[in-house]
Structure 1
Amino acid sequence: MSTNRRTAVSPEGIRFRDLDGDGVMAPYEDARLSAEERVADLVPRLSLAEKAGLLFHTIIGVGDPGAHDVPAGISPYSPRELVGERLINHLNVHALPSPRETSRWVNAVQELAEQTPHGIPVTFSTDPRHSFTENSGVSFEAGSLSQWPEGLGLAAIGSAERVHEFADVVRREYLALGLRAALHPQVDLATEPRWGRQAQAFGQDAGTASAFVAAYLQGMQGERLGPDSVACTTKHFPGGGPQLDGEDPHFPYGREQVYPGGRFAEHLEPFRAAIAAGTSGMMPYYGMPVGLHLDGEPVEEVAFSFNRRIITDLLREELGYDGVVLTDWGLLTDVEVFGKPFPARAWGVEHLSPLERAARILDAGADQFGGETRTDLVLELVTSGRVEEARIDGAVRRLLLVKFSLGLFDDPYVDEDEAERVVGAAEFRAAGHRAQAESVTVLGNDAVLPFPPGGRLYLDGIDPAVAAGYGEVVDDPGSADLAVVRLQAPFEPRDEYFLEAMFHQGSLDFPAEVVERITALAARVPMVLDVTLDRPAVLTPFDGVVAALTATFGTSDAALLDALTGRIAPCGRLPFELPRSMDAVRASRSDVPSDTADPLYPHGHGFDLQGHPEQ
């Protein structure tokens, strides 16, 4: 759908987008040429300010269409400040309104981009937003889009075909909204049970993650980037799972990434698969390697995006990756958000100034600064001679090649009616619901599952309105035939830093009062206990206490009940092991899968409703 104003007709009668406004079809405006030819023509035309703008990929809130001078949502900057003044044209959207409002706003910002010197269109990107996690630093709940299990849930189903189906739906819904870049998939291996970033990953097994990332990229990008693709950034290179004590490097106390079992190469496997599958982008993690040696030489203990041995030597040269390297968010500038500190994740180089940090990142080999707007730093580095403009040009070429390949220079606009029709379509919602139910993992079943509809149900943690279609909901457990209870995996609440309250970290033990409550209830009525696992939990107190125990990884109440009654057969298998105790977790090695002693349930454990174990 073309609503652009800058159009012209060439002497040959070809209508084109006159992005520079000179009435002449420049090679970069000629859709008949290859993306590579168009990039080669455009780069020499750009000013240093335009090049600097391309190197930043920042957050923006979705506001009223055309209200370009008003900041919206989490961003302190208006669209005009970002796109029109700083010439930034990679924007990471946060909370979204309705599909029609979103697409209308996207079109308005693309019209604003046409007013820049060469009319470079905006690439709108997004973190995952098709599941249940609501954490503005990680992922968004589905809202208007179809809702699916988290990555762990897809791993529980164990089907690459289902991953491809999911990715294809994501692609179609993103395209309808004008979101052309995905800040996912996440392929870190979930080897440290306490780590708080496991929900969107594919579990602990390198083979599974490698197969799934290939299917995911095929569903999102296709064989090669084109007008129907969404460009993916695979993260977090070279694998963010083995954090010391499971602490997350968003925060200063979690900066250290360790390999006590010497399994660095295993964590690298899914990224090798992503490169082979043609991932458009790669995102290094915040973590700082400690005690890591490669080829017999120690790796500098600085965060991965600042680490030349990791980005240039390993990723670029050894693995042969020539796509975009986008840093994770906020590596340059210390900020305060909503009254809470959020220091730059410049681990190992905290003593450097923002200018010096920017220089280190460019020297390491990254192309783009995530979550930052400091174009002035790049301008200063080049004009002072500290960084050669040719280095900037290399990054600009890679970034522009993606934009041209996606067809954004030819038509960046979306159809509002199509957005409303496609996003959250009934067939997509049904497919997501089915996947949610299939991902339910039956850990134990003392002949109470599947339970027949129509019985008396006592509920805890489940919406009674949803359960009404499966039985008679009663308030007294003593009068119930079955209790169905849902718990969230335990964590230690923290709230010193911005975003910290949204991360589930710390102990995997349930509080004593929760264990006592569940135990007392299970003594009164047969109980099905479901635990939502965004990371492992110590379920030992419930083993042999409840009549049936299930694990879910992003499942609605309705999908869970469909699985428990057998309306949709659950087929989940654990994507990681469940430890028997926190002592076992503390004694395990962060980089080694299945390393807790005598686990309560091993990786791959699960039953179908007839009691048959995993295959």
Structure 2
Amino acid sequence: METHPRRTVLAAALGAAAAVAAAGTAQAHGGDKERRRFVKRRLKAMSLEQKVGQLFTTYAYGQTADTTAAADVANNQAAHGVDNGVALLEKYQLGGIIYFAWSNNVANPDQITALSNGLQEAATDACGTPLLIATDQEHGLVTRIGPPATQLPGAMALGATHDPEAAREAAVIAGTELRAMGLNQNFAPDADVNVNPANPVIGVRSFGSDAEHVAAFVTAQVEGYQARRDLGSTVKHFPGHGDTEDDSHAELPRIDHTYEEWLQIDAPPFRAAVEAGVDAVMTAHIQFPALDESLRPATLSGPILTGLLREELGYDGVVYTDSLQMEGVREGYGDDRVPVLALQAGVDVLLMPMDIDLAYNAVLAAVAEGELTERRIDESVTRILDLKYRLGLFRDPFADPGEVAEIVGIPEHLEAAQAISDKSTTLIVNDGVLPLVTDGGSVLVTGWGETTLTVLSDQFTQRGWSPTRLVTGIAPTQAQINAAVAATEGQGLIVVATNGVAANPTQTALVKALAATGVPVVALGVRNPYDIAHFTDDVSAYLATYSYAADGLESAVGAILGGRPPQGKLPVDIPRADDPEAVLFAFGHGLSY
């Protein structure tokens, strides 16, 4: 049987990942004369306007490249002044496109594949240069493409396996499916070390709180995503976003680590990624005074992006900004200044400016006025073209629609995802109530998340139990707590899902009220694992799933009922609620039976 070059065999892909790792950075980045000559010729043939276009990646509304749907056209006109993706590419000759659910790009694998091919055709028609088509498919909390694409555990769940090979396998599967749908750049993995349990923007997007642990998992995922050399991975958010208490989407966070602490805590995963030959690095919109006393956001900081990333870590690949629509980078700067300052700092790709026309023309004006040189533009475009060449896009940027059903969401990938999830579920507290020895009974399933509780209830039903489902939400009222207590009448077990207890203390009140009924309470932390610190003595058992994805919830119910003994170990320290400097449960803690 003839096999298309992109058809995947998981074992072979994993073998390719190992080969890339063994070959090292030089092979991962290429370096042959033919590639350099091609890029040089391509650059020389481009106008300044075409080169500036290559510096931008943004979104276009619509399920097709040439959409005529009224809502998509209206949204594109409001955002970009054009009707659709084709018109956007014709006008600005962009270097890249990014997909989101909110921009109506990701309905199903066949649609995504057709959209990718339509955009690539428009880009090659417009300027002869293929697109980098990207999304943020971190999995777990940040997942842009849902089922039937395989849903894999997110970073902290993978970190809880303490098995980098599991992370590598997950990246191979995810990368293979993305490329089958025509994407060639993934904004993953997250290389931040989450040392602050109150971090509102990273949390479970991180592999953990130990720098070397995170570095090992980042290396494995970079190698997995880049195993076949047709999809680029992107580590983020440099120089490290793991110790913030503010969300850079809404404000400008500040990290007060010393330079020595940065070397010890934040830098190791990025250094490991560079050594693994990562294709791209994304910046953080944060202040880091010890690294740049000017207090400019890292995205706009020459000392950070050129001094540390380029010179100290020796990175010469593509540098992306995080979204330029985030307030963390816009605060104090005009939308016409941010792109220019970012390029001066060492950035190559400007992601999602607020106003593409304003940003594009601001860069052109900066060159005309001498604030930026064309040579500086050429440096970034050379890196971008080089990446496109190494990913094989000049040879063939298109996806094969006939392959999608053979690759995306296939049983082998789904089974692997569930097996990895089973390895991540972490039992943190157990007074002996688990595993349950009965074959069935009544169970109250309550707490946060309508979909979460539905999935949990369905899992209990499939195993012969009779669940009562009662949603109390993110901030239960006293009336909702009273209703939950009343619903415990006649129940043999209570399963309560919690999410962000520290910021929503009435969830603690709910757990304590349920515990006071005398019915055994099993709590599930379905996002950050830190919730247990607020009710340690009140529950019979506590499991961390690190996300509310279906596979993780299935693993949790399997652990409760004994069919899938918990295997995970904490990838973070859990501090005491009343003394954040004291460790309640340490990195590596995890019970089983």
With the shorter chain as reference, the TM-score category is 0.7 to 0.9
How far apart are residue 69 of structure 1 and its match?
9.1
- Structure 1 CA distance, aligned partners of 2:523 and 2:267? 36
Query: Counterpart of 1:263?
Result: 261
Tell me the CA shift for residue 139 of structure 1.
Answer: 4.2
Asked whether the 8 Å contact 1:84–1:113 carries over to 2, the reply is yes
CA shift for structure 1 position 513? 6.0
Quote the offset at 1:317 in angstroms.
1.3
Q: Structure 1 length normalisation: TM-score? A: 0.79
- Would you say the 8 A contact 1:382–1:388 is kept in 2? yes
| Separation of aligned partners in 1, 2:74 and 2:208 | 33
- Find the partner of 1:356 among 337, 342, 347: 337
Per the TM alignment, residue 571 of structure 1 is displaced from its structure 2 partner at its CA by 1.2
Q: What is the Cα deviation at residue 273 of structure 1? A: 0.3
Within 1, Cα distance between the matches of 2:73 and 2:153? 30
User: Are the structure 2 counterparts of residues 564 and 36 from structure 1 closer, same or farther at C-alpha, using a change threshold of 3 Å?
Assistant: farther
The one-letter amino acid of 1:41's match is R
Deviations 1:356-393 (A, max 9, x none): 33332122111111112221111111122221101100
Contact 1:238 1:284 in 2 (8 A): yes
Distance 1:73 1:180 in 2: 28
* 2:123 aligned residue: 113
- 2:519 corresponds to 1:525: yes
Distance 1:516 1:178 in 2: 46
Question: How far apart are 1:179 and its partner, in Å?
Answer: 0.7
- Contact 1:487/1:530, CA 8 A, preserved across alignment: yes
Matches within 5 A, 1:226-305: 226=229, 229-243=230-244, 246-252=245-251, 254-259=252-257, 263-266=261-264, 267-290=266-289, 292=290, 299-305=293-299
SS of 1:179 mapped into structure 2: coil
Change (3 A) 1:61 1:159: farther
Change (3 A) 1:94 1:510: closer
Query: Which residue of 189, 204, 208 maps to 1:203?
Result: 208
Match in the other structure for 1:544: 537
Q: Say whether the 8 Å CA contact 2:180–2:400 is kept in structure 1.
A: yes
Give the residue type in structure 2 aligned to 1:258.
D
Change in 2 beyond 3 A, CA 1:353/1:511 = closer
Task: Provide the residue aligned with 1:400 in structure 2.
Answer: 385
* 1:61 Cα offset (Å): 3.2
1:445 to partner: Cα distance? 1.1
Match of 2:460 in 1: 467
TM-score normalised by the chain length of structure 2: 0.82
C-alpha separation between the residues in 2 aligned to 1:106 and 1:472? 45
Alignment check: 8 A CA contact 1:180 1:230 kept: yes
SS in 2 for 1:375: helix
Deviation at residue 68 of structure 1 after TM alignment: 7.1
Instruction: Answer with 549-558 or 58-67: which moved more.
Output: 58-67
Give the corresponding residue for 1:584.
579
Q: Is the CA contact (8 Å cut-off) linking 2:194 and 2:203 kept in structure 1?
A: yes
8 Å contact from structure 1 (residues 56, 371) kept in 2: yes
Map Cα deviations across residues 316-347 of structure 1 (whole Å, 9 max, x no partner): 1121111011111116xxxxxxxxxx646245
**Matches for 1:152-551 after TM superposition, within 5 Å:** 152-196=156-200, 197-222=202-227, 226=229, 229-243=230-244, 246-252=245-251, 254-259=252-257, 263-266=261-264, 267-290=266-289, 292=290, 299-330=293-324, 343=327, 345-347=329-331, 350=332, 352-372=333-353, 373=356, 374-452=359-437, 454-461=439-446, 462-463=453-454, 464-475=457-468, 477-490=488-501, 508=502, 510-512=504-506, 514-521=508-515, 523-534=517-528, 536-537=530-531, 539-551=532-544
2:560 corresponds in structure 1 to 564
* Alpha-carbon distance between aligned partners in 1 of 2:591 and 2:555, rounded to the nearest angstrom: 17
Q: Secondary structure of 2:203's partner? A: coil
Structure with higher helix content:
2
Cα 1:68–1:213, aligned 2, differ >3 Å: closer, same or farther? farther
Question: In structure 2, how many angstroms separate the alpha carbons of the residues matched to 1:385 and 1:474?
Answer: 69
Cα separation, partners in 2 of 1:513 and 1:311, compared to 1, 3 Å: closer
The separation in 1 between residues aligned to 2:542 and 2:259, in whole angstroms, is: 32
Whether the 8 Å CA contact 2:164–2:220 is kept in 1: the answer is: yes
Mapped pair 1:127 → 2:127: no
Distance 1:437 1:210, change over 3 A: same
Q: How many Å separate the matches in 1 of 2:40 and 2:570?
A: 49
Report the CA distance between 1:204 and its aligned residue: 0.5
User: Per-residue deviation at 1:509?
Assistant: 5.3
Are the aligned partners of 1:92 and 1:125 in contact in 2 as well (CA < 8 Å)? yes
Q: Is the Cα contact below 8 Å between 1:457 and 1:473 reproduced in 2?
A: yes
- Aligned-residue Cα RMSD (Å) equals 2.5
Shift of the 155–466 alpha-carbon distance from structure 1 to 2, 3 Å rule, reads same
Is contact 1:60-1:73 (8 Å) kept? no
Contact 1:220-1:231 within 8 A present in 2 as well: yes
Q: What is the letter of the counterpart of residue 369 of structure 1?
A: L
SS class of match (1:328): coil
Which residue of structure 2 aligns with residue 92 of structure 1?
Answer: 98
Give CA deviations for 1:556-586 in whole Å, capped at 9, x if unaligned: 33222122223233211112122222x534x
Query: Separation in 1 of the partners of 2:217 and 2:327?
Result: 34
Report the CA distance between 1:52 and its aligned residue.
0.5
Please state how far the C-alpha of 1:234 moved relative to its aligned partner.
0.7
1: CA distance, partners of 2:349 / 2:135: 16
Of 39-48 and 555-564, deviating more is 555-564
Residues of 2 paired with 1:550 and 1:605: CA distance?
12
- Partner deviation per Cα, 1:258-316 (whole Å, 9 max, x = no partner): 216951112111110000000111111000113x15xxxx6321111111111111111
Query: Closer, same or farther in 2 for the Cα pair 1:357/1:437, shift >3 Å?
Result: same
In structure 2, what is the Cα distance between the partners aligned to 1:488 and 1:141? Answer: 23
Task: Say if 1:69 and 1:80, in contact at 8 Å, map to a contact too.
Answer: no
Distance in 1 (CA, whole Å) between partners of 2:145 and 2:524 is 20
Change (3 A) 1:471 1:510: farther
What displacement does 1:437 show?
Answer: 2.4
Which residue type is aligned with residue 385 of structure 1?
A: G
Match of 1:575 in 2: 571
Shift of 1:72: 6.4
The match for 1:26 is: none
SS at match of 1:42: helix
What amino acid does structure 2 have at the position aligned with 1:234?
A: V
Closer/same/farther in 2, CA of residues 480 and 568 from structure 1, 3 Å limit? same
- The whole-number CA distance in structure 2 between the counterparts of 1:568 and 1:107 is 42
Q: Per the alignment, in what secondary structure is the counterpart of residue 561 of structure 1?
A: helix
Report the residue type matching 1:236 in the other structure.
H
Q: Which amino acid in structure 2 is aligned with residue 126 of structure 1?
A: T
Native 8 Å contact 1:107 1:413 kept in 2:
yes
Residues 172, 206 of structure 1: alpha-carbon distance in 2 compared, 3 angstrom cutoff: same
1:147 and 1:432 in contact (8 A); partners too: yes
- 2:527, 2:419 → 1: CA distance? 19
How far has the Cα of 1:514 moved from its partner?
Answer: 4.3
Distance 2:258 2:373 in 1: 39
Question: Partner amino acid for 1:215?
Answer: A
Shift of residue 66, structure 1, vs aligned partner: 3.5
Give the distance between the partners of 1:81 and 1:42, measured in 2 at CA: 23
In structure 2, the CA distance between the partners of 1:344 and 1:264, relative to structure 1 (3 Å rule), is closer
Match of 1:63 in 2: 63
